Structure 1
């Protein structure tokens, strides 16, 4: 599901930050078993998305991440 964190407005996408509740909803709605999760973004974004994915019941071994930016970069 496409999500735009800053662009609220006239588009069909969800607007807002990704959190554990959002990730649980995505995983629950999936019809096929999760084989791999790819998360790419700032350090804070990757942490939030990975924690939410794990909270949704996904095995951490299936999660691959790519991070960029310093420790103070906001998601």
Structure 2
């Protein structure tokens, strides 16, 4: 974890969730895809989960509310 990592992960996860063709994205596809250049949304979501588990309850609740809204859309 580094300064800005949560923000980057959140932005990447939000962008992926709001992308209309997100369900067509192939996680196992070799070569360059849009997410291979910009980062893996699954890794971003995993990073957010790890951060939420390590935060204080109050702060984790705030972040979890934001992430849960995206998860529900996904």
Q: Give the TM-score normalised by structure 1.
A: 0.35
Q: Give the TM-score normalised by structure 2.
A: 0.35
Higher RCO structure, 1 or 2 (CA under 8 Å, sep 6+): 2
